[in-house]
Amino acid sequence: MSQAPGAPLKAVGIDFLRKHNSCLHHTSDYSNSSLIVRRGQEFQLKLTFNRELKDQDKITLQLRIGEKPKQSSGTLLSLNARSGQEVNRWCATIRQANGKECLVVVTSPADAIVGKYQLCVKTGPNVYQPEKSFIYVLFNPWCKADSVFMPDDAERTEYVLLDTGYIYVGSPKNIYERPWNFGQFEENVLDCCIYLLDKSQLKPTVRKDPAVISRSMSALVNANDDKGVLFGNWSGRYSGGTSPLAWTGSAPILQQYYKTKKSVNFGQCWVFSGVLTTVMRSLGIPARSVSNFASAHDTEENLKVDIYLNERGEKVEDLTSDSIWNFHVWNETWMKRPDLPKGFDGWQAIDATPQELSQGIFQCGPCPVNAIKNGEVYLPYDSKFLFAEVNADRVFWLVKDVDGESQLVKLREETKVIGKSISTKAVGKNTREDITVQYKFPEDSLEERKAVETACSYLNSNNLGSCEVTPPLEPLKANLQLGMEGETTLWPGNPIDLNIVVKNESAGTWTVDLVASCQLESYIGKVEASLATIKQTIQTEGKPAIQIPLKVATESYLKALMAVEDELLVKVNIIAEIRETDEKLTEELTLTFQYPPLKVEMPETAKVNEDFKCAFIFKNTLSIPLENCKLHVEGLGIFRMETFDQGDVAPGNIFKSKIICAPRRTGTKKIVAKLNSTQVKGITVEKLITITE
């Protein structure tokens, strides 16, 4: 029914032009029915009224965000579409009017408050609020004026739009990738991020600042202090939750948290990092997961991590809270830092793994990576802790029993073993990129020494223990070297058969008291079992090399391997004392278990909304049965994470699991599968499929 020309003007409909806007704003991948735009860039709305528009008709767009919106805090915006007048640098203008319809262009400032705005249209006393009236405003790495602007298109695609990737794990000499589905566009993930933003209770004035939001999210992704997303657990026992090794991506974790509003059990560092990458990318802040190998956890801030060995060569854990993790995964976010002196824009390190308190809660960063490299540890936030993670020295001590008293003997101080092969996924490629040079100068270079001296000067100024630069070691009189030979690839179920090797390059004659231990450890250096020790006095007698066998029977380690739900590795510590020179040598070696492969069979291509079959095949080529096998699979845009119980798989047996998939979105999609059992953990496979119209 047509309204009389003199009737009061009322808005009767809003078309958010989602397809048009989301394409221009790079937001069409979000599984969300509301309009999602990026700040600092115009978007269009089509308004429909009860009658034709006249020149004198007043049209005001009102946007509100937060619980108690106020004009003074910029959380209540009334935009006059007739005058196009700016309000807090927002503005709305009528681009064209045609009969009862008009096209309105809305522009937000490049530092707009990030979050979920509610829209209504006011025409005089009449207010129209559509059923779905929300507009999400995100950070904009495509906008030069936004502090998260990233100039390179390939980098924007990788660090904002890519929803799959890899997280690198292992040990310095055995790095491998874990596929990870970031899933920042999956259903409810953005809503969960907005919920976290609301939960952070940040003032509106800082809810636009990527540095403040990054810090806040590093706290909220862990459950400590604030009932955040994920509960950390390194106990090796995960009843009452999901083992950290079972997760294949972030979306199921954030979806569960958003649904229940309760912390999800359980995470370890790569899970915290994967989830934090997802949260940052979902909000529009470029982010990546970064792995540091041989990562120091220096609790005393003296740039030294002490390792204590007893007289059998076994690690003694209760003498220190310092530790060295085989790897540790944190994050980097990309932004300008106007709050800091010049030279600290770009990548900023943040970390959601709860390790040390910062300003009273478990949060870490953002700290400019450039500040870590140059030793400028006075800069906020948490630069001292992050500097130590990549630069601390490792000090070995022997704990001797002298007349019932413990006596410490310094064995060795190593300055080049911490902070190795710092890694992230390469841009546009499924390969590892080594970014160590972004964190530290080459070892022994003048710049490196200067960076360490700079850091030490600030550590000392706070009375944080001694931080002297270690003088170079004098050459050993007895030119002996410790090492290992034998089968360094360990298969669960096979005995461990190694040879400790003492190399005598100078062909001198020495008497050597040698002890060696073999222990099962988790990736954070926690000892789960002592497997074997040897103690022997050897005479070198001019021989170039001497071998001492170190054997561990399968039954000696299998029970310990089965007792925890973590992936364990074998650490061998060797101590050699040369009687004639009173010199002490020590060596630490890491061995990892290998597993049979998990295979996936599926077509190379499929059509959207048409079923295809995907099969997962596993043959147990080990000599032991694998009990309680669980297969976890996930395919973004195809199916949510599912778990299949495969029971026990005897040696030589095969299981085949099939799943029918109905892809919901076009493009290249990835299916990730992970197999865990009582004996073997973390066997992973991935496969790509191209989904077409």
Residue 475: how many CA atoms within 13 Å on its side-chain side?
A: 3
Decide if 623 contacts 493 (C-beta within 8 A): yes
How far apart, in whole angstroms, are the C-alpha atoms of residue 224 and residue 240? 18
Q: How far apart are the first and last CA of the chain?
A: 41
Peptide bond before residue 258 is cis, with ω within 30 degrees of 0:
no
23 labelled catalytic: no
Q: Could you give the dihedral angle defined by the CA atoms of residues 157, 163, 169 and 175, in that order, rounded to the nearest 10 degrees? A: -50
Nearest to 440 by CA among 559, 306, 294: 294
Decide if 624 contacts 679 (C-beta within 8 A): yes
351 labelled catalytic: yes
Beta strand 164-171 with 174-181 is antiparallel
193 labelled catalytic: no
Nearest to 141 by CA among 163, 156, 155, 157: 156
Strands (E), 556-679: 569-578, 583-593, 598-601, 605-607, 612-619, 626-635, 639-649, 654-661, 667-676
How far apart, in whole angstroms, are the C-alpha atoms of residue 79 and residue 10? 17
Decide if 634 contacts 643 (C-beta within 8 A): no
Q: For tokens 């300003």, name the residue.
A: 359
Helical spans, DSSP H, in 221-358: 251-260, 269-283
Nearest to 349 by CA among 305, 392, 378, 380: 380
How far apart, in whole angstroms, are the C-alpha atoms of residue 32 and residue 186? 8
Decide if 614 contacts 673 (C-beta within 8 A): no
Q: Which of 351, 382, 393, 566 is catalytic?
A: 351
User: What residues contact residue 415 under an 8 Å CB cut-off, 6+ apart?
Assistant: 393, 443, 470
Q: Which of 269, 467, 518, 629 is catalytic?
A: 269
User: What residues contact residue 315 under an 8 Å CB cut-off, 6+ apart?
Assistant: 307, 308, 309, 517, 519, 521, 525, 527, 571, 573
Nearest to 43 by CA among 13, 16, 63: 16
Q: Which of 328, 393, 467, 632 is catalytic?
A: 328
Decide if 329 contacts 273 (C-beta within 8 A): yes
Which residues belong to the active site? 269, 328, 351
